[in-house]
Amino acid sequence: MALEKVTEGCVRMRDAVEAIHSCPYKAVIYVAGGSSQLLGWLLSVPGASNTILEAVVPYSKMSMIQLIGKIPIHWCSQETAQDMALSAYNRALKLSKPGYPAVGVGFTGVMATNRPTSGGHRFYMATRTADRLSISKVTFTKGLHTREEQEAISSQLLLKAIAKACKVSATSVPGLSESFVTEEWEKQFNEDQELEQVINDQILFKFYPFSSEVGAKRKIILPGSFNPLHEGHLKLLEVATRFCGDGYPCFELSALNADKTPLSVSQIKDRVKQFEEVGKTVIISNEPDFHKKAKLFQGSTFVIGADTAERLVNCKYYDGGYKKMLKRLLGCKEAGSTFVVAGRNVDGVFKVVEDFDVPEEVKDMFISIPPELFRMEKRPRS
């Protein structure tokens, strides 16, 4: 097959790329060992910033190890493609605007090269969304295709896989009928399985966008256990959002709590129903500690009460004392976090954040909501 035959349909693929850029999905793409043309196609069509959050080519072994967080048993394998797609999906969750669906893409291949290779020429590609994992293995007949042809074929097939993950048509991508073997697998996840993956720390969080708010870059997050959700929570987030200005208001429920028994899937679903009933967005995470929440939701504003602020800046709550406290708070600051603090009764006395000894290095992270805007005399059940 001549290279011209593979590439003659590239102009028609523009329609598929435009369809991908027009859909709501936000993608992080990790490719290694092939599919080099794909990124050029995606980035050369106007609207790429609507879709592509990040694209990385982890070509060195150390780059791949850092990307997936482990040494792969086989560099080109189904497992490695899955790990890449999952890592990309979690990265997309962190980078996406609130409410937009995320897709992670992983590709690893062994193509024709100028040195001997074992196992034949092949590649694996995987896409991961909230409810679906799709995997393909493509094996080339060795010696039939040049490296350039393999790159063109793998790029076209990966483009189709991304289009499928984004639920858009890719009929404009030219058909390929040359000699290679394709194997495909797919696994779908229901809501319970998604939540189990959050609890087990496989995926970073699950988003329930029940509100009609338009996604903004910055999240305004009110964390809690919400057992039950009540008017005080709703009012506090409403006041904090007006006080902060531009931002996407949402609640955050952690499946883990440092002081309580971990929540079950059924408990989480019951609490999620509360937010659905009032039309408010909630995020389910697995991070009970604020220094970890800060890394997970970088650049966000956290809405807390003065009692929580007091614990954040009191070194007795840190095993390592003052130095550990300051290190964690500085980590929050480096992640772009701010804390909007509502006055609240602490040990029977109404206090605001200015009543606490906040380290000078992080004082600008803590912003007090004026008591005339919001004042809660009693600490509610969280």
Q: Where are the domains of the chain?
A: 3-188, 193-376
Question: Contact 80/69 with Cβ under 8 angstroms?
Answer: no
Is 207:281 a contact under the CB 8 Å cutoff?
yes
Mean pLDDT estimate for the chain: 91
The pLDDT, as a whole number, for residue 246 is: 85
Strand duo 219-223 + 205-208: pairing: unpaired
| Placement of tokens 């349909």 in the chain | 9
What single string gives the DSSP state of each residue in 2-19?
A: -HHHHHTTTTTHHHHHHH
Residue 296's pLDDT is 96
Quote the pLDDT of residue 163.
95
The Cα 39–Cα 44 span in angstroms is 8
Measured CA to CA, the distance from residue 187 to residue 86 in angstroms comes to: 13
**pLDDT band at residue 2 under the 50/70/90 scheme:** very low
Model confidence, pTM: 0.92
Amino acid 199: pLDDT: 96
Per CATH, the homologous superfamily of domain 3-188 is CinA-like (3.90.950.20)
What pLDDT digit, counting tens, does each position of 44-53 carry? 999 999 999 9
**Among residues of the chain, what percentage have pLDDT more than 90?**
77
Between the CA atoms of 218, 222, 225 and 226, what dihedral angle is there, to the nearest 10 degrees? -120
Q: How far apart are CA 300 and CA 339, in angstroms?
A: 9
Rounded to the nearest 10 degrees, how much is the dihedral formed by the CA atoms of 145, 146, 148, 151?
40
Phi-psi category of residue 120: left, alpha or beta, with phi > 0 → left and psi -120 to 50 → alpha: left
CA distance 308 to 240: 16
Tell me the C-alpha distance between 71 and 235, whole Å.
Answer: 48
| Percent over 70 (pLDDT), the chain | 91
- Distant-in-sequence, close-in-space partners of 38: CB < 8 Å, separation ≥ 6: 29, 31, 154, 155, 158, 159
pLDDT digits (tens, 9 = 90+) for 260-275: 788 999 999 999 999 9
Evaluate whether 159 touches 173 at the Cβ level (below 8 Å). Answer: yes
Look up residue 234 and give its two tokens. Answer: 């709703």
Q: Which CATH architecture has domain 193-376?
A: 3-Layer(aba) Sandwich (3.40)
pLDDT tens per residue across span 345-377: 888 899 999 999 999 999 999 999 999 999 866
Neighbours of 257 (CB within 10 A): 15
Report the C-alpha gap between 198 and 206 in whole angstroms: 7
Per the CB < 8 A criterion, the answer to whether 312 and 369 are in contact is no
